[in-house]
């Protein structure tokens, strides 16, 4: 790399190299650096351009009397020495109130309340992240994870909705569970009914409308697998009818308040959804004039289509009200945490979030993972990452607002792929250019998590699986953010499983996840069979994988005393782990062998489509649930009920 390009990449946080899982050092190529710098808005297409951008970035840094952000503790005064005497200083509190500070070469900041405040020194902003040093850890407890979409039987049909969730939560809470865990419930793509992966959202601060319960409406689609196009078409028709009836009755004060509170952000989202009804879900395919949310053409569209925009805002109102009701039902049933929600690691590059707030996202790149034994060509997730420099310029508010939206409903929040708080792998859209890692402002982002969790009185889990950067797990533990420990991966050698007393305490333990086989499926090698059947594994690879799996099953059985007769020994093993929280999966309680999602597949496996074999109402009376609750209590976990 030429010197200006090298220096610009380095100070921009682009890693010079990384080590893959085979131990090879992968050096960042010049083309990669140029592509990633362009994604950050730091042009470096030629050496001359790189030199000019470098000079501008360095000049900006030299002019700043303080860093872009500081982490402080609540209610604690602080003192800061500046590199030079400054002429003006003012403090802008989170609520917008301002106070002037005495200019000079020293800053004495008063004790500040929890939140995000701004210090302006000679015109340069520094974000003050006033966060508790550590989140309190929960007591030993347990809960159940389930697929919200699957909370309907084959006879009932349709898609599991927020009303079903309230019923399920009440039943699980009565049995003693402290939480009910879900996959993300972010807004999706109603105009593309086949885009139903919860981990590829359109907007993470808006809610999925596919789970809205429609009063008096019976969905027609039934069978073991969900037919999303048919089901969502019927639901949309019913919702349009209900909306028109509601509008005919006159203004709903609660909805009007929701609109006022949502403000411009809600209006932009509703406008995006109305445009999607006409031009399709993905704004990259829209006419050029409509690809800019701030364009005059979009403003004219908004003025000409008030009914459709109001309709989409009303859908968010219904989803919000119904998810809050589910959270309240969980707490009323005695659940300590209530809902356990999941925050997706990124957002679709051409969805509502990137259209509404393009300035905070890196452009022309996707989140992903480098090549490894499982993905020789690497992984590209088709998710837009936050631009770390834009995030800092925007006072980290996009992250704070995203977290706050989830914690409006959840007492427990999982952050998917929290490794991205330390470094994120960016893959250029030009697939001929390899990707590499970009450093993220970890300490600032963790401070924002602590701020929002402390506001909500919630606990947080970071999904720290995979190629974990050095130091991240220590930083998470210091922050009081729990990790994930998946029992099938907790091996000290092939088939030699970690005993329960050696599990990480600051963690949530589970046997599997939504991307992995169930207990029964793992024992049978169902995931291996599925990959063989659809051609991901050839005959020899499948046979070798099954041999490997049989050794693993034997090793776990020897430690846990399991034998395939049911999940009880596995549940007892999880209950005995040192980890503060345990998540049991509804699929294991019901003895199901097929997993929810098979990574690396789209149409060749029925991802996110399987219905549960029992109704939401029936969960409360499951003997298997009562038995699991008894095991959790016997292993020293609380009943889950609030005192």
pLDDT of 422 above 80: yes
pLDDT of 601 above 80: yes
pLDDT of 73 above 80: yes
Percent of the chain at pLDDT > 90 equals 91
pLDDT, position 373: 60
pLDDT of 120 above 80: yes
Q: Which has the closest alpha carbon to 463: 415, 402, 516?
A: 415
Q: Using DSSP, state whether 443 is helix, strand or coil.
A: helix
Let me know how long the chain is.
Answer: 643
Q: Which has the closest alpha carbon to 330: 495, 563, 166?
A: 166
Q: Which has the closest alpha carbon to 333: 171, 163, 161?
A: 171
pLDDT of 125 above 50: yes
Give the number of other Cβ atoms within 10 Å of residue 315's Cβ.
Answer: 22
Buried b (16+ CB within 10 A) or exposed e, 416-439: bbbbbbbbbbbbbeeeebbbbbbe
- What sections of 500-622 are H helices per DSSP? 519-524, 526-533, 539-560, 568-576, 586-589
Mean pLDDT of 228-250: 94
Strand partners, 415: 343, 462
The order of strands in the sheet holding 423-428 is: 379-380, 365-369, 423-428, 436-439
> Is the Cβ–Cβ distance between 575 and 637 less than 8 Å?
yes
CB-facing half-sphere around the CA of 530: CA atoms within 13 A: 23
pLDDT of 372 above 80: no
Percent of the chain at pLDDT > 70 equals 98
Structure-token match 């430690």, residue found? 559
Per-residue pLDDT tens digits for 529-570 = 999 999 999 999 999 999 999 999 999 999 999 998 899 999
pLDDT, position 215: 80
How many whole angstroms separate alpha carbon 42 and alpha carbon 463? 31
Mean pLDDT of 473-482: 97
Confidence of residue 111 (pLDDT cuts 50, 70, 90): very high
Task: Choose between 17 and 355: higher pLDDT.
Answer: 355
Confidence of residue 219 (pLDDT cuts 50, 70, 90): low
Q: Which has the closest alpha carbon to 382: 535, 150, 189?
A: 189
pLDDT, position 643: 43
Mean pLDDT of the chain: 95
- Strand 459-462, strand 483-486: pairing: unpaired
pTM of the model: 0.96
Per-residue pLDDT tens digits for 270-283 = 999 999 999 999 99
Q: Which has the closest alpha carbon to 212: 259, 257, 258, 159?
A: 159
Mean pLDDT of 98-126: 95
Instruction: For the chain, list the domains and their CATH numbers.
Output: 3-63 (no CATH), 69-130 (2.60.40)
For the chain, the 3-state helix, strand and coil shares in percent, each to the nearest 5, are: 40, 20, 40
Cα angle 488, 490, 495 (rounded to 5 degrees) comes to 70
Q: List Cβ neighbours of 227 (8 Å cut-off, separation of 6 or more).
A: 221
Mean pLDDT of 194-217: 94
What would the DSSP string read from start to end of 361-392? Answer: B-SSEEEEE---SS-TT-EE---BPB-HHHHH
Confidence of residue 126 (pLDDT cuts 50, 70, 90): very high
pLDDT, position 1: 56
pLDDT of 571 above 80: yes
Q: Which has the closest alpha carbon to 216: 232, 236, 239, 233?
A: 239
């Amino acid at each position: 790399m030429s010197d200006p390009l090298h220096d610009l990449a380095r100070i921009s946080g682009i890693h010079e190299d990384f080590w893959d899982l085979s131990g090879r050092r992968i050096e960042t190529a010049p083309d990669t650096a140029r592509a990633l710098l362009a994604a950050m808005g730091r042009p470096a297409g030629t050496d001359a351009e790189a030199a000019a951008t470098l000079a501008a970035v360095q000049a900006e840094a030299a002019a700043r009397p303080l860093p872009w952000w500081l982490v402080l503790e609540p209610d604690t005064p602080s003192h800061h020495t500046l590199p030079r005497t400054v002429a003006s200083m003012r403090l802008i509190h989170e609520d917008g109130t301002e106070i002037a500070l005495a200019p000079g070469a020293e800053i004495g900041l008063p004790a500040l309340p929890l939140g995000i405040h701004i210090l302006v020194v000679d015109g340069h902003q520094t974000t003050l992240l006033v966060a508790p040093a550590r989140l309190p850890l929960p007591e030993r407890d347990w809960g159940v994870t389930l697929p919200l979409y699957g909370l309907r039987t084959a006879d009932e049909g349709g898609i599991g909705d927020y009303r079903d969730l309230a019923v399920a939560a009440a039943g699980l809470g009565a049995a003693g569970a402290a939480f009910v865990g879900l996959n993300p419930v972010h807004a999706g793509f109603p105009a593309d009914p086949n885009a139903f992966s919860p981990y590829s959202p359109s907007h993470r601060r808006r809610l999925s409308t596919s789970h809205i319960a429609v009063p008096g409406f019976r969905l027609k689609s039934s069978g073991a697998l969900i037919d999303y196009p048919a089901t969502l078409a019927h639901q949309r028709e019913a919702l349009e009818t209900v909306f028109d009836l509601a509008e005919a009755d006159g203004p709903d004060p609660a909805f009007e308040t929701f609109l006022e509170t949502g403000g411009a952000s809600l209006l932009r989202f509703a406008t995006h959804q109305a445009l999607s009804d006409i031009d399709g879900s993905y704004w990259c395919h829209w006419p050029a004039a409509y690809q800019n949310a701030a364009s005059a053409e979009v403003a004219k569209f908004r003025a000409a289509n008030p009914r459709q925009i109001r309709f989409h805002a009303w859908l968010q109102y219904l989803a919000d009200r119904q998810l809050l009701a589910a959270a309240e039902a969980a707490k009323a049933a005695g659940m300590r945490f209530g809902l356990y929600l999941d925050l997706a690691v990124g957002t679709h590059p051409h969805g509502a979030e990137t259209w509404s707030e393009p300035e905070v996202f890196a452009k022309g790149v996707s989140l992903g993972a480098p090549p490894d034994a499982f993905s020789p060509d690497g992984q590209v997730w088709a998710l837009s990452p936050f631009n770390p420099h834009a995030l800092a310029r925007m006072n980290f508010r996009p992250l704070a607002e995203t977290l706050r939206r989830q914690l409006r409903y959840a007492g427990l929040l999982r952050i998917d792929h929290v490794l991205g708080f330390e470094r994120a792998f960016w893959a250029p859209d030009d697939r001929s250019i390899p990707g590499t890692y970009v450093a993220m402002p970890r300490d600032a982002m963790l401070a924002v998590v602590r701020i929002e969790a402390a506001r909500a009185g919630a606990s947080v889990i970071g999904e720290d699986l995979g190629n974990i950067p050095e130091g991240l797990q220590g930083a998470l533990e210091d922050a009081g953010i729990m990790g994930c420990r998946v029992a099938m991966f907790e091996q000290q050698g092939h088939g030699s499983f970690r005993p329960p007393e050696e599990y990480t305490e600051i963690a949530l333990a589970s046997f599997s996840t939504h991307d992995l086989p169930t207990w029964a499926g793992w024992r049978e090698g169902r995931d291996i069979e599925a990959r063989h059947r659809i051609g991901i594994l050839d005959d020899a690879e499948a046979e070798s994988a099954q041999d490997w799996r049989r050794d693993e099953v034997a090793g776990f059985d020897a430690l846990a005393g399991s034998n395939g007769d049911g999940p009880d020994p596995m549940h007892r093993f999880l209950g005995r782990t040192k980890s503060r929280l345990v998540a049991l999966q509804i699929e294991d309680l019901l003895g199901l062998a097929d997993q929810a999602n098979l990574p690396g597949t789209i149409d060749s496996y029925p991802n996110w489509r399987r219905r549960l074999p029992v109704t939401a109402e029936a969960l409360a009376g499951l003997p298997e649930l009562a038995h699991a609750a008894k095991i959790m209590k016997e292993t020293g976990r609380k009943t889950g009920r609030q005192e």
